[in-house]
Chains A and B, each alone.
Chain A
């Protein structure tokens, strides 16, 4: 079976599984919704919307934790038997690429929905929406590619997977987060594109490095 077909088959399987276990997806959306609502309630104590720097920081914190929760269940909900079964059918490269693609789509949806809810409740101080949304999508891709391999690693360790994932994932994601928050701030302030250009290019390069390393390393992770 060619690699592309393996990937589409696995992707379809992931979507079907997600649809059958709607509770997990609903839980994720509710998580984002309630976090945004709690922030809204806290800021409404001091009259309305937070100042732009706080708005920016809070959005990324919410997205980061939503991403950890969303990706964590990926590899962990599969049993060892299931993994062995896939192992006999497909290449490990197909598994990691399908998983990264699936997580990217999931996180893109979560990020856009999160942004929508967030602007509804906490106001919209964004001055260059195009750059802001592009940066948000880059962030979703980056979170998905980084966290997919980390969730595979945490699943191997067993036990408290989500905590281990946070411990392993956060330090790796700090450089990416710094860049994202910086570009996001530039977009909030409506600065010219040329100011953010080098950071955006670095983000793209970083996503490619992480994707390529995951692709190379995953077969070793899977073998055991």
Chain B
């Protein structure tokens, strides 16, 4: 599924036509999932209460961040095999989309933590992992900013992108499982919402929301990379 996501993402981001169909689907899914997610009856669980609806926002944001960052790494690998300005721009813009979604995920997660655990931030391994991921991509942007030569910038930042992803991201999935009990759901087994998925109606909103957010991430990347290409073209003339 992940591989299909990366390939599909590249296809959608680099698409030359307007893509009315999948973009209207994105709008439909996002608006629909948000509206239905707020309106439907949800299971009444202690402590979580109504904030369980955040599941339709917070979790899809993380999923789409991981997906678009994977796309970014894949562009970086492609760049190293076959360098071109185009692939560098695509890797950079995908990473930026990932940062935006990561910050959104942190914000929604922090809000959720405040209402359920009583603090904006806790020393939970998952939260720390999220912060580390943001620091890594912040460092990626700093690295890009410290080059004058464009080809060198493209090559070295591609290398850092791959290295950072390989060294740190898998651990964000491994470490939380090693570190024992946690407040965050999905501690053992598949990360997700095990303790909530008793309710099938929630799944029927959750999955469309995930697809919607992932498509939205690709759309955002497409728009910003088209803008970057235009800027490049403008600078050349």
Chain A residues in the interface with B (C-beta under 8 A): 146, 149-150, 153, 156-159, 164, 167-168, 170-172, 174-175, 178-179, 182, 198-199, 202, 206, 209-210, 213-214, 217, 220-221, 223-224
A172 touching B156 in the complex, CB below 8 Å, given contacts A157-B147, A159-B146, A164-B142: no
Residues from chain B with Cβ under 8 Å of A164 in the complex: 142-143, 146
- Looking at B135, B138, B167, the one whose CB has the most chain A CB atoms below 10 A away is B167
In the complex, the answer to whether A171 meets B135 with C-beta atoms within 8 Å is yes
Q: How many A-B contacts if CB must be within 8 Å? A: 92
Number of interface residues of B (CB under 8 A): 33
In the complex, the answer to whether A175 meets B172 with C-beta atoms within 8 Å is yes
Residues from chain A with Cβ under 8 Å of B155 in the complex: 220-221, 223-224
10 contacts between A and B (CB under 8 A): A153-B143, A157-B143, A159-B146, A168-B143, A174-B168, A202-B174, A213-B162, A213-B167, A214-B163, A217-B162
CA distance A182 to B125 in the complex (A): 12
Whether B132 is near chain A, meaning CB under 8 Å from some CB there, is yes
Residues from chain B with Cβ under 8 Å of A172 in the complex: 136, 163-164, 167-168
Return the contact of B159 from the options A146, A167, A206, A220 (Cβ within 8 A): A220
In the complex, the answer to whether A221 meets B159 with C-beta atoms within 8 Å is yes
For window 165-216 of chain B, which residues contact chain A by CB distance below 8 Å? 166-168, 170-172, 174-175, 178-179
Judged by DSSP, the binding face of B is helix
Whether B127 is near chain A, meaning CB under 8 Å from some CB there, is no
Residues from chain A with Cβ under 8 Å of B172 in the complex: 175
CA distance A182 to B167 in the complex (A): 19
In the complex, the answer to whether A156 meets B162 with C-beta atoms within 8 Å is no
Q: A171-B138, A220-B159, A223-B155 are in contact. List 19 more A-B contacts (CB 8 A).
A: A146-B167, A150-B163, A153-B159, A156-B147, A164-B146, A168-B142, A170-B135, A171-B135, A171-B136, A171-B164, A172-B164, A172-B167, A174-B128, A174-B135, A182-B179, A202-B174, A220-B80, A220-B158, A224-B156
Q: Which residue of B lies closest to A161 (CB)?
A: B146
Residues from chain A with Cβ under 8 Å of B179 in the complex: 182
In the complex, the answer to whether B135 meets A217 with C-beta atoms within 8 Å is no
Shortest Cβ-Cβ A-B pairs, 6 listed = A171-B135, A175-B171, A171-B136, A213-B166, A157-B146, A174-B132
CA distance A179 to B129 in the complex (A): 13
Return the contact of B160 from the options A153, A199, A223 (Cβ within 8 A): A153
